[in-house]
Every structure is written in C-alpha cells, then in structure tokens.
C-alpha cells in the first residue's frame, strides 16, 4: 500500500486497526496450531484490499492450542491503543463452526444501539468477518475453531477512550471498517460520536442536547440542572451531528455551548475547528451593527483577540441584547441545514460565557429545559 498520506505539506505514515491486529493474530495462531511450528510473520488482506505483512510476537504452541500477538501500530495517528499487543488464542473444535469471543481486556456490550448483543464481546462486525475468513482460510472447510481475542492492557487503555460512555465496559473494542488507519482522518472520531447518539435513540430518547465538549456538559448539569443522559458530545462536527439526529429520528435538538464556539454557527459554519473556518468577530460585528450598537463598541470588538475580551466590551457598553439575537440565528441556521428533511427535529440554541453564565437562547430558557425535565 501507499505507506504515507500527505497532510498540510507533511508525509504522515499510515497504520492498521485493532481489527487487522486481531485478524492477523488469529490467522497465524491457527496456522501454528496446525503446523506445530512457530511463525514470525503473517500476511492478511484488509477489507479495503490492502495486503499487510505483520511481525508476530510472543508465539506459543501446545498440542491443543496456539497463541500469538500482533502489536497495534496507528502510524502517525496515535490513539489509546497504539503500541499495545492484541492476542489471539485458537483451539480446534469437534464441529466445523468458527466461534469468536473476547477474553481479558476486550470490552463487553452493556447497552443497546451498538449493533451487537448485550453481553457480547466488543468485536465489531467487520473484524468478526475478517477473523472468521482468515481462520477459515487457515484451517479449511472440514475443521472448526474456537478463537479468543484478548489484550492484557485493554482495561487500562480503555480508560482513555469513549468506551465507558458507549456502554462498553472492561476493555477496548476491536474495530476497523477498512483495516487501515489514515492519519488525520476524522471519520472514526465522528463515528464514535454518532454511535453514542444512536445508542440513546435505541433506548427510546427522542430529544438530545448537543455540546462541543466537557465544558458544555458541566454547564448542562450545574447551571441548567438537567440529566446528563440527554447530553451527547459533538466536538467540532456540528453539521454532521445535526444530520445524524435527523437520520435517527430525534424530535428535538438543543445546541448548548460557549459563545466563542457557537457564534460561528450563526454564520453557517458547521465545522467549528479553527483550521476549517473562523469568522467569530466578523459575525459578532455584523450582529452588533444590526442591533444598532455604537460605532465605538464595534471598533473595540474589531480590535479584540478573544471573544471573552469582546464580551467584556459588550457588557461594559450594556449591549447584551446581541446575544439572544445570535442564539436565534444559530437555531435558524440549524433548521436551514435540515430544510430538506421530511421530519426535521425542533432546533434550539443556548449560549453561555466562560464563567458559565447564560448569555442568550433561541427561546426562553424555561421552555427549552421543560422538555428535558
């Protein structure tokens, strides 16, 4: 495969997923069990068609089973599982079935909405398929195998992932739809956020509060006094997550966030990371002008470096009326984004300051929070 991807003028090395590691470990363990000899490399074909030749670590053979490990390599896209060992233990069965399960360090599903049964090992459908295919290739059609995937560091590493929030407890997930990790790819991040959203919908929720991150979640709990189970993190992916709420059939979406982040949405910016677009001050200045703010205040805001600095000038001038106007525009932009939906959710927005004070909302706060009580 092409080993690098270019991003912002830099060559970044690709890696491979935990699913590829588990597949390779299972295949080589099955081959070693049948051949009764140690192997130090193994080749697999990923779901994306890329051939990987991987080094085998800690091979162990006995007459009844074989174990091998593959070290996860995320390339230049370092995550919580980078560098850890993914093991597979293979035993032959008396029938022709291939049964795959997770052992120590592999999480267990405890909530609906993840596409796996409650109690099942957190080995996603694509890796399950590639593991089964690779083991079948190794043992042939007349034998069966019991395959256990395990990761001794899994429970510790999982603490740095979203697994607990998704209801995956006790370890990591074996994931990967392509088998290859592409540096700077946002797709896996977005997918994990969408999974949480889908899980809440599967539990019967029809309304949700989207927040950029932990600051927003604390505000919802401490200032709005709402149950955190309604809250889903959207990071910078405002547009993506809004469209996911529409796809999943939510009836109401409340966007809650710091003013400096959500003011961008008022300008129709639905990916709020600064490397995509900014426009905070241009948007704020336009709305100050529309609200007939003094020219002196507008010029002061234009010279500011941070939105907090701009807000201090606005507060000193007594021009806080601009915040509800911007919040209403954020809600309008949300609705406009979903305008082609046959059943769009009701969209609202609430803006707060760095010191967790409510600045403005698209409707009275009591109306917004009533639906979540």
Please report, in tens digits, the pLDDT of each residue of the chain (373 residues total): 457 655 556 677 888 999 999 999 999 999 999 999 999 999 999 998 889 999 999 999 998 999 999 999 988 877 889 999 999 999 999 999 999 999 999 999 998 777 789 999 999 999 999 999 999 999 999 999 999 999 999 999 999 887 887 789 999 999 888 888 776 567 777 887 888 899 999 999 999 999 998 889 889 999 999 999 999 999 899 999 999 999 999 999 999 999 999 999 999 999 998 778 889 999 999 999 999 999 999 999 999 877 888 999 999 999 999 999 999 999 999 999 999 999 999 999 999 998 889 999 999 999 999 989 8
Provide the domain limits for residue 152: 4-181
- Going from the C-alpha of 36 to that of each of 64, 65, 143, 174, the distances in angstroms are 10, 10, 16, 27
Do 168 and 207 belong together in one domain? no
Do 218 and 124 belong together in one domain? no
Do 12 and 106 belong together in one domain? yes
Do 199 and 72 belong together in one domain? no
Q: Give the domain-ending residue among 132, 152, 181.
A: 181
Do 162 and 297 belong together in one domain? no
Q: Give the domain-ending residue among 181, 210, 227.
A: 181
Q: Give the domain-ending residue among 150, 181, 212.
A: 181
Do 148 and 197 belong together in one domain? no
Do 160 and 274 belong together in one domain? no
Residue 10 has a pLDDT of: 66
Residue 356 structure tokens? 């967790």
CATH code, domain with 149: 3.30.2110.10
> How many domains in the chain?
2
Do 198 and 177 belong together in one domain? no
Do 42 and 107 belong together in one domain? yes
Do 170 and 209 belong together in one domain? no
Do 84 and 166 belong together in one domain? yes
Contact present, 105 and 153 (Cβ < 8 Å): yes
| CA 26, 28, 31, 37 torsion-angle sign | negative
Residue 350 has a pLDDT of: 98
Residue 329 has a pLDDT of: 98
């Amino acid at each position: 495969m092409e080993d690098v991807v270019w991003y912002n003028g830099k060559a970044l090395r690709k890696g491979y997923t935990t699913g590829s590691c588990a597949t390779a470990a299972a295949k080589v363990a099955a081959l070693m069990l049948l051949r009764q000899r140690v192997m130090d490399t193994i080749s697999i074909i990923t779901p994306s068609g890329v051939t990987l030749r991987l080094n085998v670590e800690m091979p162990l053979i006995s007459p009844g089973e074989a174990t091998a490990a593959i070290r996860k390599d995320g390339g230049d896209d370092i995550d919580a599982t980078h560098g850890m060992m993914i093991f597979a233990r293979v035993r032959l069965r008396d029938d022709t079935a291939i049964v795959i399960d997770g052992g120590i360090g592999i999480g267990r599903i405890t909530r609906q909405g993840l596409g796996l049964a409650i109690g099942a090992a957190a080995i996603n459908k694509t890796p399950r398929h590639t593991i089964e295919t690779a083991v079948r290739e190794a043992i042939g059609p007349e034998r069966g195998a019991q395959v256990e995937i395990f990761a001794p560091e899994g429970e510790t590493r999982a603490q740095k992932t979203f697994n607990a929030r998704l209801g995956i407890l006790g370890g990591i997930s074996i994931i990967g739809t392509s088998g290859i990790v592409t540096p700077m790819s946002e797709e896996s991040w977005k997918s994990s956020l969408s999974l949480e959203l889908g899980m809440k919908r599967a539990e019967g929720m029809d309304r949700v509060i989207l927040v950029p991150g932990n600051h927003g979640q604390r505000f919802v709990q401490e200032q709005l006094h709402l149950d955190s189970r309604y809250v889903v993190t959207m990071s910078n992916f405002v547009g993506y997550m809004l469209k996911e709420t529409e796809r999943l059939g939510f009836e109401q979406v409340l966007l809650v966030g710091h003013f400096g982040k959500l003011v961008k949405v008022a300008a129709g910016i639905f990916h709020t990371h600064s490397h995509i677009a900014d426009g905070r001050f241009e948007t704020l200045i336009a709305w100050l002008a529309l609200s007939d703010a003094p020219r002196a205040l507008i010029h002061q805001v234009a010279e500011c470096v941070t939105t907090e600095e701009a807000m201090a000038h606005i507060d000193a001038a007594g021009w806080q009326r601009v915040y509800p106007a911007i919040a209403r525009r954020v809600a309008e932009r949300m609705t406009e984004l979903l305008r082609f939906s046959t059943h769009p959710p009701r969209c609202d927005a609430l803006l707060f300051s760095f010191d967790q004070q409510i600045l403005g909302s698209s409707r009275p706060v009591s109306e917004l929070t009533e639906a979540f009580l």
